[in-house]
Structure formats: C-alpha cells, structure tokens
C-alpha cells in the first residue's frame, strides 16, 4: 500500500472512531475556552474574580470570632465575674455576682480604667454628652446598664443584651470600669439633677476594669465595624463595575 493511502485510511478510521465522542469533547472544550479566553468574557471573568476575592478578604474579617471582654468585681463582701460578648443583637452581658442583699443595684460602665479606688473610675461612660437614663431609653449614657437584681440568697444572675455598648468604635467599653452601686438606679426618672447624672444609685460597692478575654484571634482583625466593611465591599464592587464599563 502506498504510504499516502495508508495515512488516508488511518485518518478515516480515526474519524469513524471519533465521530461521536471526540466531537462532543471538542465542542465542550471550545465552549469553555471561548468563555475564558475571548477578550470580552475574560474581562467579565476578571471582574467576577476581583469581586469574589474582595468579598472573601472582607468576610474573613467580619466572620472572625466574636470579641469577648471580662471584668471581675471584688470587694470586702462582693465578688463575681461579668463577661461581655459580641452577638448580632448587641453585646451580651452575662455572669454571676454574689454578696448583696435582695434588691436592685445600679450597674454601670464608668469612663476610666483606674480602679486604684472605685472613686478613681470617674463618671458614667458618656462619649456623646447626654443625660443619664435607663438601658432602654433613647437618651442615656453609653455606660447606663440600669440595675441588676440580687435575690434573698444574695446572688445576682446577669444575662442582658445591650445595643449601645460595644467592643469596638466610639462606644468601646474596653479599658473602662464596670461599677456596682449600693443603691437602685432610678433610670433618670427621679426628677432631680442627680437622677440625670448618676441615677441616684449612691456609693460605689465594687468595681473592675473591663479587659480583653480569650480567644485572642477575635481581637486580631482590623476592628472595623460591620457597617464599614459592608460599605467597603459595595465600593469595591462599584469600582470594579466602572472599570469594566470603561473598558467596554
Ligand atoms: Cu455608676
Ligand atoms: Zn449614667
């Protein structure tokens, strides 16, 4: 057989074998290749990749573990620990304090972290310069957590979520002081000057500095608020879209 005839037969056999399978593979390959490498679609692909990478970087910061802080209260007759943890609904304040008789006692965050004496911790934490109020009031100090209630056996179990205090930004309570008073906070309803500054909660019974609580990983990210991070993502997405539109 002449060599060119032999080649022609081989080609014929190959075409027969491939008639269905190979053609299908070829068509699929061409489609993917077109999508990825034609100039127009390649830019769309880059745009999507840029947005996905941005989103991933941002989410790695936002979805990092919630920050937790802790304060220990200790005095001659009072002891307890209170933890502050970030949740989607605000800062969850939990813990148990023992040592006072049945009743309600003012419970605040004061502005300074100096507990050389409880008096050294300054006034209620009030960065916006507002009047004193209850935790549910529109007008309140950031540090106004209201009262905690001791039962007859001298135990106060605390479990509240507050939307104003924070572990980042302007309302960050880290490094300030948790204070327990000897009397009930009137939540700004007392009708006198004292009510609008301290809630007339009386003397300071126990205090403790609010400090970083493990795990440390939660404290390692940028500290940007979720709102800031969301705005940042929108900005990235819009920028990428504008680049894409200018290119075409
Ligand atoms: Cu106070
Ligand atoms: Zn206050």
Give 246's pLDDT tier (boundaries 50, 70, 90). Answer: confident
Average pLDDT of 102-112?
98
CA–CA separation, 62 and 223 (whole Å) = 9
Give residue 227 CA to ligand 2 midpoint distance, Å: 27
User: How does the average pLDDT of the chain come out, rounded?
Assistant: 84
> Nearest 5 degrees, angle CA 94-CA 90-CA 78?
25
Give residue 131 CA to ligand 2 midpoint distance, Å: 7
Task: Indicate whether 130 pLDDT > 70.
Answer: yes
Closest to 209 measured CA to CA, from 84, 77, 67:
84
The predicted-structure confidence for 25-67, as pLDDT tens digits, reads as follows: 444 555 555 555 566 677 777 777 777 777 766 665 555 689 9
The predicted-structure confidence for 138-179, as pLDDT tens digits, reads as follows: 999 999 999 999 999 999 999 999 999 999 999 999 999 999
> Nearest 5 degrees, angle CA 95-CA 85-CA 176?
80
Global pTM value: 0.69
Active site residues: 108, 110, 124, 132, 141, 144, 181, 204
* 196, 131 contact by CB (below 8 A): yes
* 142, 132 contact by CB (below 8 A): no
Give residue 115 CA to ligand 1 midpoint distance, Å: 13
Q: What is the DSSP letter of 193?
A: H
Q: What percent of the chain has pLDDT over 90?
A: 61
* Orientation angle between helical segments 21-37 and 3-18, nearest 10 degrees: 80
By CB neighbour count within 10 A (0-12 exposed, 13-18 middle, 19+ buried), where does 16 fall?
exposed
Closest to 181 measured CA to CA, from 126, 137, 127, 121:
121
Q: What structural domains and CATH numbers belong to the chain?
A: 3-63+225-247 (no CATH), 68-214 (2.60.40.200)
Least trusted range by pLDDT, from 15-24, 179-188, 205-214? 15-24
Q: What is the DSSP letter of 13?
A: H
């Amino acid at each position: 057989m002449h060599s060119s005839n032999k080649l022609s037969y081989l080609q014929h056999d190959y075409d027969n074998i491939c008639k269905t399978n190979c053609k299908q593979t070829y068509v699929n390959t061409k489609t993917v290749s077109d999508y990825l490498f034609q100039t127009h679609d390649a830019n769309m692909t880059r745009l999507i990749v840029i947005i996905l990478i941005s989103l991933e970087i941002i989410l790695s910061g936002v979805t990092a573990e919630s920050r937790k802080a802790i304060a220990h209260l200790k005095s001659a007759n009072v002891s307890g620990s209170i933890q502050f943890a970030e949740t989607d609904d605000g800062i969850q304040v939990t813990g148990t304090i023992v040592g006072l008789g049945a009743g309600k006692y003012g419970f605040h965050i004061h502005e300074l972290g100096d507990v050389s004496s409880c008096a050294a911790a300054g006034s209620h934490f009030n960065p916006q310069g507002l009047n004193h109020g209850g935790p549910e009031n529109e007008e309140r100090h950031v540090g106004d957590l209201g009262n905690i209630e001791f039962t007859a056996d001298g135990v106060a179990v605390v479990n509240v979520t507050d939307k104003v205090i924070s572990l980042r930004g302007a309302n960050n309570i880290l490094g300030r002081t948790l204070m327990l008073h000897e009397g009930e906070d009137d939540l700004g309803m007392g009708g006198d000057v004292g009510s609008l500054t301290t809630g007339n909660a009386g003397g300071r019974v126990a205090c403790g500095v609010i400090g970083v609580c493990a795990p440390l990983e939660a404290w390692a990210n940028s500290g940007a608020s979720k709102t800031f991070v969301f705005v940042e993502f929108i900005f990235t997405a819009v920028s990428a879209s504008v680049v894409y539109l200018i290119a075409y």
